[in-house]
Structure 1
């Protein structure tokens, strides 16, 4: 399929994600020539024929239909084989959990498995801060994204490329008269309706409470007829009171142009999504971007790309406590009013008025991000070019939380108001220098690239808390008369790297590549600052370029490729290699003691050895095309925090090289132009990935380790397999729940010591991908995309809490909580409610067992967009507008799953998973985090 570009100058290439066309302008006539596709591999650009590695390219247009508050990393979901992406939660502006080719790392922190992000050649980093910078760029500025998956593609990035690489190319100017684009989208979002469960209404809940009272269950009270009538009259849905339909608006303006010597692009944007929670404004963003490239002489070229993003968000307490509105909307009883008779907020049986807290306990987060990249390239000799590049970002984050004087929480705490102010500055820059030599002699060509690179990162943080505000109307830190806490720190790390990359090409038929790179990184132990050399070797055979297929009319593309190599991993916290001391006080005396996390001077690099065997194919002039890849990734010496053995000082923990991990997988992608004509086009596409995971070994002296509360690492099993007590169902004679003991027996007494590893059941999907279709008829276009996952499990803590009968004394319950044992012989029901403790510590009710471990497989209608474009053929050549496009789009429109809730779970409870020192396992459990939303947008785009 050829894509025609209306205005291009000699030797300019424009990559659309599928095919490139070049055009040469001569005497006002335009001649078109179809040429090879160009793929951005990071430090270089290669024609598709020269690529020997597993790379998937996604065009910016394919991501443009999403709400602008949907981050670019989320919009990639389902677009590329081997790339598993889950939104952290549904909060506007939230990022993603990204795994390229399966679990990248066993480190239990958000962002541990992030790929390396590269923006216009600038190596941003592979941590969550780098993803924030990537997501700060408005998707309307995307040209395309290349996803580098195997060692042949990523090894040149050394210690940063272990989890793959995402290379973003932003839009560049075009030669010709300036093109001005104005676009706007407005719409709304709303919480996706509860899937496969329903909460009780007032009549159902009162009936449930009556039955619990009759059974003598502790905490329940009697209902009188008059109380029932009054309560039924108050029946309402707390979701409708706490949530709302959000308002979304987005405005973008851009200008692009240039000539044979220089090209430029400018863009400005404003986005707002007030979110689905009452009384707060979730997200605002102001963006700007500028890109300029020039070739003043035949030998010299230079360019600059800069962007600014300022975002403002109001946060909620994303924790499993009374301050979480998403817990409150399920916990509050439907017969409890929002307001008391005197107009004050009702604190309900839960003892906390969440709507009042959302107004009077505000949390705000302001973030300013500058990113910039400048390069200069000089042709020393024919075929010999030197390029130097300096890229960096600065991120200032200011967060504050206030408990206003006189608020409900303030009265409960007795602190007379409080203010917390935090300020953080992050600064990273990278200087890359390359020397590139290319030479062609006959049918042979070589491309040799040498690299020297230096990176530095600095982070400073300060926080202050003040209490006892001087006035109810003055709530800044300066008005706090009681200093409560002040803390802060500075951080720094440096890396230095050097490497080389070689490509040999014979007649575009046989291509061999090799790379080697070595890094020094100050984050590792003083005995292992220098990495081992990271290397790769790969080859490709373009079979369809052979003479024996020259006259073939069926097979239009067949390329076979293979690669092997190693990649490192350096996305680790600072000072894991150092023993830190912390100061405190004992009365009025200062004290100092080692941190509980003890430094390891012998900490060494994780290394991933990767093999990839793939093929690219096309039939009937590429109307049917696809790829298949089989890969093996073996991670050695992964880094993990483990408690010290008793002989080592068991009160402390240390980060060590704790074991080995192995991922294997098969990736398939297929697309086809079913109908391809002048007036009507219809294409379909699909990709899928099949995965297997195995924890090969743990540290010496250990074969298994429990992580968090319900997951385990065990040799020979899937990482993070669930570790739970198994439910054996209900005793039909007395209604008590039966549990399997660790040795396979049964008991009616619950003990956490009976937990066992559940083979084959982990949060990791065995199958994931996406599929979709695109149709166009004259000016109309339609696009639909689905995403899916299968084989992954999630522990449903929400279901456990909503069905456990002791909670009903104060909480609302699921409608099926009434389905409990009542008569002998019943089995497929909930246990009989009673006050008898069935667990140590006097615990009653449902216990944490595999009863609530649920299959989280799903298929989701991710995006549908329909549009109509009016161009010059309709508007007329004299009309001052080139084209006008109007569109309607929707996201997350339908979900098919057996899971009781939203199956697209990443964070179960934000504040207990995303903070420092917290345990984060992607998709491990469902609790009360910001839910996914369904979004509808109307858009209009005008081009002058």
Structure 2
């Protein structure tokens, strides 16, 4: 007998195959990890999606686990922060979590083997530090019935990772390796000028009298044409990827263990740096020394090293340089030094001589002990935590080009940060059955503490050109540091009542105390949930049906909280300084709010799970409403404390509504050949119902707006009315709907229905297997989201062409009366007050960022014992070929999968980050090819 496992959106169906042509199937009593408990599938009343490790295993080892989840679960919108190896993700479960404009603000809560890691970007780093080869499965808890038991942490959903455990039997040893390469995806829907095109463009601009363009002699032009080359090939490369993993699993009836070690390397697509390396190890042990006592421990370690690029909109960014450098400018000067080009900066030299490195060490671990006090009554205590040390070093080497510009004789910045978090959870679980009645009551007490310390030192003026450590800097420049701490204490209960696996009711309640909130609101309101499920196919009148094999109806309502906030929004902090030689102290400009409290999400969910023809066709449907209130809003220029002060307050509410659908089918299912298809999709609607008293709208950043009654972060721009066909001038709509040829930023208006938030997203794919051969393909898609394309504006803007290369279609500008579908005439100097020239910030460059992407294709062949022989000391060998991001269909001009537009302008403290708001030269997505070998002994 052989056994195969079929997976789709949280539903596992076990098919048992006999040697005869007839195939019998039966549904096993599946187990779903809900966080604090494990439940059979029949007992689950909430919206939970389970993703198997197998469906994530085909991705590059430098693809973080959160990114690999993209398109795998309905209602879960994930995009990589950018394409850099080791980059994290932006994750929205069931829409926008809140309106906080910082990276990670909408993160779900992360849980690893029952250990609560947290719901901030630090927690995502810990989650992603675990090698995906160590995953068993991931449960995504989406509604209040599933997440309310996490109280103040579960407002944006919960991602529960279960790592691999040992199995009874002789040890199984697995060796796997993958090698391959990646390259930047080709520019989509545009092309840059070559040397001949750019020189011709410059001549025309000079002829139009545009300042900054220089004349070309025939000699200079011929020499420049001979230099024609593609800067993308000079600055970028195909990366080298390698991954090695060894794992051991085994055990017996009393104890089980698993152990793994891994090494991953991806040097990235930028020359002169090594983008990412990591070393991982993980150990898990579980024991049952008696019928009453069980205990276990899991420990993981991750050490990663990365070299960074300057992710900002200037000439130090290699991804701007590949477009800005002119194709007729050489890489090197005649003397062999790097050519700074018209941009005035040699980025290839800077990648060597201005290194920036991040080394990160993460230890995570948890231990638990469980004791059966009486029949049905069990006590469990668990202690889990992580330690994360991050060291960041930035250098400007003495004698480098940037050193010459700055005139500092070299500099070094050393930053060191230690993060430590632990959680102690204690539960008392009572389970009792009376005939067809079953009760499950769980009581919870939990304590969490988090500490963070940071120190940074900057030195300049190196004593020796060959030494660049902080101790060799003869001029101390700056020292700074801080310590942070918060604590939470929680208690709650979770009740499940089940009648004969037909009718299931659950209820939960939890209350938290958190030191991050104001002294008047340290204790939260109770977070609660109620839910019910009806397993219709367990009813007598449905038994024996040859058509309907599964039908379960679910409904839930409840509240959840949000505590992913800054550690000192509630406190009045003091800043030290100097006045001359005298020390001074003054209140911090962010004035603490002693009344600050939790954001609260009230959720409703109505869903169904169904299967037909012995679950050959199966799926889920869910409709939800999430009403978020009291979200935390940063208010600048707080009037009560004077214009210099700001404060964070609770204000307003936000509503997310949506419909989630998932469907899979086994089209062909025979002894040797299986073909299945799958798809999931989510329809989203967002509305900002209220901002704060006395304020109905506000501009966020420079091109987005929050306005009551509209989608959050809708774009706020001056509208282009095209061009005047008679003179070629660009025409703009005024705020009141008129037209003008004079640009005025005050004519910006909110563009209804146009925001960075997708209205539709999901994934679809297919799997084939024939004997030892298997094939899998997955697509992801988004629709209805918009991104402002600053890159397009720069590449078409004639005012930038004096020093930068241009897109080929920049030459398609107005030249003759009657033309309309062209760019405005370049020599218009009257389109803005003060004679500002060039293309202006209008909705001309706001682009539909909808796309469909071929995310992953994998083909493999498995040689089992039947093929390699029973005497050969190997259980199986699998060979595979995998490709990622192989094709993209979009109208967007560039990479449409935008999250971070410009890292150093969005992701720092106090900066404004709106996921997908604009594109501006961040690390692009890459196309990856991998060859893999896996051997099991």
TMscore range, shorter length: over 0.9
Q: How many residues align?
A: 929
Corresponding position of 2:600: 607
Give the SS at the match of 1:19. Answer: strand
Corresponding position of 2:737: 744
Could you list the per-position Cα deviations for residues 288-326 of structure 1 after superposition, in whole angstroms to 9, with x for gaps in the alignment?
Answer: 000000000000000101100000000011011121111
1:514 equivalent in alignment to 2:523? no
Take 1:876 and 1:933, find their aligned partners in 2: how far apart are those partners?
40
1:809 equivalent in alignment to 2:802? yes
Corresponding position of 2:189: 196
Could you list the per-position Cα deviations for residues 68-119 of structure 1 after superposition, in whole angstroms to 9, with x for gaps in the alignment?
Answer: 0000000000000000000000000000000000001110000000000000
Corresponding position of 2:178: 185
1:895-914 alignment, distance < 5 Å = 895-914=888-907
1:55-454 alignment, distance < 5 Å = 55-454=48-447
- Are the counterparts in 1 of residues 629 and 651 from structure 2 also a CA contact under 8 Å? no
Corresponding position of 2:521: 528
Could you list the per-position Cα deviations for residues 553-578 of structure 1 after superposition, in whole angstroms to 9, with x for gaps in the alignment?
Answer: 10000000000000000000110001
Give the SS at the match of 2:712. Answer: coil
Give the SS at the match of 1:688. Answer: strand
**Deviation, structure 1 residue 584:** 1.8
Corresponding position of 2:21: none
Take 2:848 and 2:411, find their aligned partners in 1: how far apart are those partners?
44
Corresponding position of 1:9: none
Could you list the per-position Cα deviations for residues 158-186 of structure 1 after superposition, in whole angstroms to 9, with x for gaps in the alignment?
Answer: 00000000000000000000000000000
Instruction: Give 1:856's match in structure 2, choosing from 849, 853, 873.
Output: 849
1:873 equivalent in alignment to 2:866? yes
Could you list the per-position Cα deviations for residues 5-33 of structure 1 after superposition, in whole angstroms to 9, with x for gaps in the alignment?
Answer: 9xxxxxxxx9996437699xxxxxxx999
**Deviation, structure 1 residue 35:** 2.8
Per mean C-alpha deviation after superposition, the further-off stretch among 317-326 and 141-150 is 317-326
Corresponding position of 2:654: 661
Distance 1:33 1:259, change over 3 A: farther
Take 2:905 and 2:651, find their aligned partners in 1: how far apart are those partners?
24
Instruction: Give 2:467's match in structure 1, choosing from 474, 479, 484.
Output: 474
Take 1:903 and 1:583, find their aligned partners in 2: how far apart are those partners?
45
Distance 1:645 1:402, change over 3 A: closer
1:884 equivalent in alignment to 2:881? no
Distance 1:15 1:309, change over 3 A: farther
**Deviation, structure 1 residue 544:** 0.4
TM-score (norm 2): 0.98
Could you list the per-position Cα deviations for residues 593-619 of structure 1 after superposition, in whole angstroms to 9, with x for gaps in the alignment?
Answer: 222211111111110000000000000
Instruction: Give 1:827's match in structure 2, choosing from 820, 824, 841.
Output: 820
Take 1:2 and 1:934, find their aligned partners in 2: how far apart are those partners?
36
Corresponding position of 2:715: 722
**Deviation, structure 1 residue 648:** 4.3
Give the SS at the match of 1:357. Answer: helix
**Deviation, structure 1 residue 836:** 1.1
Q: Which 4+ stretches in 1 moved above 6 angstroms?
A: 20-23
Give the SS at the match of 1:597. Answer: coil
Corresponding position of 2:20: none
Corresponding position of 1:28: none
**Deviation, structure 1 residue 3:** 4.7
Instruction: Give 1:933's match in structure 2, choosing from 922, 926, 930.
Output: 926
- Are the counterparts in 1 of residues 140 and 158 from structure 2 also a CA contact under 8 Å? yes
Give the SS at the match of 1:257. Answer: strand
Could you list the per-position Cα deviations for residues 769-798 of structure 1 after superposition, in whole angstroms to 9, with x for gaps in the alignment?
Answer: 000000000110000000000000000000
1:732 equivalent in alignment to 2:725? yes
Take 2:180 and 2:44, find their aligned partners in 1: how far apart are those partners?
42
Take 2:226 and 2:631, find their aligned partners in 1: how far apart are those partners?
60
Instruction: Give 1:42's match in structure 2, choosing from 26, 35, 40.
Output: 35
Take 1:194 and 1:641, find their aligned partners in 2: how far apart are those partners?
38
Corresponding position of 2:789: 796
TM-score (norm 1): 0.97
Instruction: Give 2:497's match in structure 1, choosing from 504, 508, 529.
Output: 504
- Are the counterparts in 1 of residues 9 and 49 from structure 2 also a CA contact under 8 Å? no
Give the SS at the match of 2:619. Answer: strand
Distance 1:648 1:703, change over 3 A: farther
Give the SS at the match of 2:761. Answer: strand
Take 2:401 and 2:330, find their aligned partners in 1: how far apart are those partners?
17
Give the SS at the match of 2:467. Answer: coil
Could you list the per-position Cα deviations for residues 430-466 of structure 1 after superposition, in whole angstroms to 9, with x for gaps in the alignment?
Answer: 0000000000110000000000000000000000000
Give the SS at the match of 1:809. Answer: coil
Structure 2 unaligned segments of length 5 or more: list them: 17-23
Give the SS at the match of 1:652. Answer: coil
Take 2:285 and 2:8, find their aligned partners in 1: how far apart are those partners?
18
Could you list the per-position Cα deviations for residues 685-744 of structure 1 after superposition, in whole angstroms to 9, with x for gaps in the alignment?
Answer: 000000000000011000001000100000000000000000000011111000000001
Could you list the per-position Cα deviations for residues 254-287 of structure 1 after superposition, in whole angstroms to 9, with x for gaps in the alignment?
Answer: 0000000000000000000000000000000000
Corresponding position of 1:839: 832
Take 1:745 and 1:16, find their aligned partners in 2: how far apart are those partners?
51
Corresponding position of 1:705: 698
1:652 equivalent in alignment to 2:642? no
**Deviation, structure 1 residue 647:** 5.0
Structure 1 unaligned segments of length 5 or more: list them: 6-13, 24-30
Instruction: Give 2:563's match in structure 1, choosing from 559, 570, 582.
Output: 570
Could you list the per-position Cα deviations for residues 12-66 of structure 1 after superposition, in whole angstroms to 9, with x for gaps in the alignment?
Answer: xx9996437699xxxxxxx999631110000000000000000000000100000
Take 2:9 and 2:324, find their aligned partners in 1: how far apart are those partners?
50
- Are the counterparts in 1 of residues 283 and 300 from structure 2 also a CA contact under 8 Å? yes
Corresponding position of 1:53: 46
**Deviation, structure 1 residue 811:** 0.4
Give the SS at the match of 2:801. Answer: helix
- Are the counterparts in 2 of residues 16 and 143 from structure 1 also a CA contact under 8 Å? no
Take 1:640 and 1:227, find their aligned partners in 2: how far apart are those partners?
58
Give the SS at the match of 1:571. Answer: coil
Instruction: Give 1:559's match in structure 2, choosing from 548, 552, 559.
Output: 552
Give the SS at the match of 2:631. Answer: strand
Take 2:291 and 2:9, find their aligned partners in 1: how far apart are those partners?
27
- Are the counterparts in 2 of residues 461 and 488 from structure 1 also a CA contact under 8 Å? yes
Give the SS at the match of 2:403. Answer: helix
- Are the counterparts in 1 of residues 189 and 893 from structure 2 also a CA contact under 8 Å? yes
Could you list the per-position Cα deviations for residues 375-398 of structure 1 after superposition, in whole angstroms to 9, with x for gaps in the alignment?
Answer: 000000000000000000000000
Give the SS at the match of 2:443. Answer: strand
**Deviation, structure 1 residue 650:** 2.2
